[in-house]
Amino acid sequence: MSKSAVALYKPSSALGNRRVLYRGTPILFLAIFLMMSKEWIRTHTGITLDNASVTLGAAFICMLLFHRQPKRVFRELIDWEIIFFFMGLFVVVGALEFTKVIELLAHGLVQISHGSVGMLTFLMTTGSALLSTFIDNVPYNITMVGAIQAMEKTGIAVYPLWWALNLGTSIGGAGSPIAAACNVIAFGQAEKEGYKTNFAHYLKLALPLVAINSLITFGVLWLKFLH
């Protein structure tokens, strides 16, 4: 697409049905509100909500309100490939936790760093950036949260590590087409439209930026927490 075509493109032209937008937006905000206030709801009403039931419930309501052909929705409009992709990723993370691999990973990091918070912060920042390039950053984050919690039990000051994990995985999320949920969806949609991206070519462009950004991030964390 040429620069002139991009300049002339109007995002509003992508709206196929404004009625669905106007009526669906309140449902979206309601779902977000329920996810944010689920602890308050549980404390004051005894009703337990989880993110999965809230989001699936909102999607089901939208489907009933706006689509008169549920079979067509399930057959054509839902991207089952992406759904099963993430199901597999979370199964892997659950297996790692169940088999104590996460705990072993935490102890391994502590041994490599000899308990140095500075070295752990470096490993967490750069390692998270590079690993989450090849592992979707959502399940990776879940995995490493367990590892940091295990480190905290050994008496290590983990506050800088939370920042290192968060920033490192955010940087790595741009490292490959499978590094983040939005990447998987965007590249999948682009491929459906006929725009296929070579995985190796993308890595060649993105990996140097991931490495540079992770080193800069570690420098900032060092000055902020460790200097």
User: What's the pLDDT tens digit per position in 51-103?
Assistant: 888 988 998 888 888 766 777 777 777 778 778 877 887 787 778 778 877 67
Within 10 A of 97 (CB to CB), how many other CB atoms are there? Answer: 14
Mean pLDDT of 147-176: 88
In this predicted structure, the answer to whether residue 1 has a pLDDT above a threshold of 90 is: no
Query: pTM of whole model > 0.85?
Result: no
CA-to-CA distance for 54 and 91, rounded, in angstroms? Answer: 21
User: 35: closest CA among 62, 56, 21, 64?
Assistant: 56
- What is the per-residue pLDDT for 107? 75
**Cβ-Cβ contacts under 8 Å for 213 (sequence gap 6 or more):** 129, 171
Determine the Cα–Cα distance for residues 76 and 70; give it in Å rounded to an integer.
10
42: which DSSP letter? H
Exposure string for 169-185, b = 16+ CB within 10 A, e = fewer: bbbbbbbbbbbbbebbe
Q: How far apart, in whole angstroms, are the C-alpha atoms of residue 27 and residue 22?
A: 10
pLDDT band at 33 (very low <50, low <70, confident <90, very high): very high
Say how far residue 147 (Cα) sits from the centre of its chain.
Answer: 18
pLDDT in tens, 88-146: 877 877 787 788 776 777 778 778 888 788 999 999 999 888 888 887 777 778 778 88
**pLDDT per residue as tens digits for the range 164-212:** 999 999 998 888 888 877 888 888 778 877 888 888 888 898 999 999 9
DSSP 222: I
